[in-house]
Copies of this chain bind each other. A is one copy, B any other.
Amino acid sequence: MINVTIWNEGRHEIESDEVRAVYPNGIHNCIKNFLSINDDLNIRTAVLDDTDNGLPDDVLENTDVLLWWGHMAHECVPDELVEKVYNRVMRGMGFIALHSAHFSKPFKRLMGTTCSLKWRDGDRERLWCISPNHPIAKDIPESFNIPVEEMYGERFDIPTPDEIVFMGWFKGGEVFRSGCCWNRGLGKVFYFQPGHESNPTYHIPEIQKIVTNAVYWVAPGKVIPEVECPWVPSLEEAYDGPNK
């Protein structure tokens, strides 16, 4: 079983009729629904306004994959929690930053850059897959349309991705590295650009498949209890024969 926690800011859905019309139970529950067809995923949701911002230590420690959607309230996430999320990724947790989470504290903490970009509401996007043999691209067509999506345009101020899986084309004239992978510590990180709160993007089957693939891809291969910076004895002085 992979323990998945879907974290959502969850405020747009409360404050905006328009957003609630698209995601009546919140973005987190929409994502939970489409992930739930997979029997090997043990899925929780959490929102900013839950106790401990939805991520008390026991939840975070028992999370293998954390999805993060945030936008209007990035600053309400306590720095202490950000450090805990960062530390958990270092020890092996997978992290998926969705759409406006490009500017979330945990994602910026993991990137070490501003994660700035250009934006404009209400454009049309065509998503292109440039790494068709990547696990996150499994069963995804070479390109497909997202009828209405927020334009995110280059230059996206991110570190060079370890792998670029998707690139976005926008009718208004922009391009974007829309699906990017990084290794951070023992954790894997995936950023995925589509998913504006007032557009029904998470209802699109291809988008659901990509998010699902990403959950499996960032799931930890190895987890460690803590990271140290150890003194070590000389291996050569200790060497006394084959395979020691």
Contact = CB atoms under 8 A, between A and B. Distances in A.
Interface string A75-104: 000000000001000101000000000010
Interface string A172-200: 11110100001111111000000000000
A131 B236 contact: no
A22 to B, nearest CB: 15
A118 B182 contact: no
Interface residues of A, number: 78
Interface in A110-124: 110-114, 116-120, 123
Interface stretch (A7-15, A34-42, A219-227): A219-227
Interface of A: 86, 90, 92, 103, 109-114, 116-120, 123, 126, 128-135, 137-138, 142-145, 147, 153-157, 159-160, 162-163, 167-175, 177, 182-188, 204, 220-222, 227-237, 239, 241-244
